[in-house]
Amino acid sequence: MDPVTNPFSPGAGTPPPELTGRDEIRETVRIALERCRRGLSARSVLMVGLRGVGKTVLLDRMRLDAEKLGFQTLRIEAPEGRSLPALLAPQLRQSLLKLSRSEAAKELAQRALRALAGFAKGLKLNYQDIEVGFDFDPEPGLADNGDLEQDLQALLLVAGQAAQKLGTALVLFIDELQYVPEEQLAALIMALHRAAQEQLPVILVGAGLPQLRGRMGRAKSYAERLFEFPELGPLPRESAIQALAAPVAKHGVSFEAAALESILRDTLGYPYFLQEWGKHSWEVATSSPIRALDVERASKLTIAALDESFFRVRFDRLTPSEKRYLRAMSDLGPGPHRSGDIAKVLGKVVSSLAPVRNHLIIKGMVWSPSHGDTGFTVPLFDEFMMRILPGDSWQDE
């Protein structure tokens, strides 16, 4: 069928044509934001899940929902190698400038901008990647100590006062939060805790890989009392079917039941893979309904496309020893797997492989569901490793 009208949209964080199966978590966040705005106790929400479950898409949709309800929002993606202060400062500046346009909050918003100037100048020595424009001169003694824990608290408190004056809340939307170093996570947790104690409307909605829960707990032991950690997984069966059937129905097209079953089996219900299989099935089919035979042909194209993009971009970041570790995991199946079993496949002792495993965790390729267990963060990556490193030759590299 016509690729120009193809309704599916696979891509990193690209909104799907039909966002299904996530109404409960969206309502959880809406309630938390409303309670925060009213000065009532509310936990920040940190969504965790594997790659491909739609965390980024959902975070962006929640931000749009929040803005429609009048909340002041910041949108941050935390890549590897960037400091939290550097990511936060320019986004917070934009929000404070918006707040300063209101006469009611102008004075407090301008004070927060002075605090931001002191924050950036005070921390520039430790975090040299901070680059932000200054709209006001710093106020001596306000968020300018050069200590992240103290300064971030002072900055978010005065920003929260400005938001409170305007009857709104400051909502930090942070993606890929697992890449923020633990000492910086600790400073953020303390600042949010202090804002909550002062009943100021500052709240975090974040997303990250499953290891984020452990990182938050290590950063501050009381983190579990400040945050909710809803886990996003594959879509339930009916939601997955709706994600496929609803977009094509708008074009007068349908799927055969057998075709839907085939896609559900191949994708395991993961939202990103549903979009990929839907896209290629649409392009292979010549008429409605899309048949199981169309899906079978499309699967070969889909897997080839995933191998060259979604999987390959992660594989190319790995060292030879990391590739062998993941290939050994793949021999054992989707996982999670015991570290001892992986070591046995490699013919090594567990302790000798600990540095490799730790680097893979840092890179976001694996995570530890429980002590001694290791699982892939990318669904279907075990199958990809078997395809790209077939046979046994990889063991001799």
Model pTM? 0.92
When pLDDT is averaged across residues 79-102 and rounded to a whole number, the result is 92
Task: Domain 317-396: give its CATH architecture.
Answer: Orthogonal Bundle (1.10)
Q: Tell me which of 13 and 316 has the higher pLDDT.
A: 316
The CATH class, in words, for 23-228 is: alpha beta
Say what percent of the chain tops pLDDT 70: 99
Mean pLDDT of 109-122: 94
Residue 397: pLDDT over 70: no
> Is pLDDT of 12 > 80?
no
Fold of domain 235-308: Helicase, Ruva Protein; domain 3 (1.10.8)
Angle between helix 23-37 and helix 55-68 axes, rounded to 10 deg? 40
Rounded mean pLDDT, 97-121: 94
The token duo for 267 is: 């994708």
Whole-number Å distance between alpha carbons of 50 and 277:
19
Average pLDDT over residues 346-368: 94
What is the arithmetic mean of pLDDT over 180-204?
A: 96
Evaluate if residue 11 carries a pLDDT over 90. Answer: no
| CA dist., res. 260 & res. 266, Å (int) | 10
Percent of the chain's residues with pLDDT above 90: 89
Q: Residue 395: which pLDDT band, with cuts at 50, 70 and 90?
A: confident
CA distance 262 to 266: 6
CA distance 106 to 91: 18
pLDDT for 225 equals 87
Looking at residue 396, what is its pLDDT? 65
CB atoms within 10 A of CB 324: 22
Mean pLDDT, the chain, rounded, equals 94
How much is the pLDDT for 383? 96
pLDDT at position 392 is 83
Parts of the chain belonging to CATH 3.40.50.300 = 23-228
Domain with CATH 1.10.8 in the chain: 235-308
Q: Using DSSP bridges, classify how beta strands 366-367 and 373-376 pair: parallel, antiparallel or unpaired.
A: antiparallel
- Angle between helix 237-249 and helix 271-284 axes, rounded to 10 deg: 40
pLDDT band of 157, cuts 50, 70, 90: very high
Confidence of residue 73 (pLDDT cuts 50, 70, 90): very high
Q: Which helix (H) or strand (E) holds 94?
A: helix 84-100
Mean pLDDT of 25-51: 96
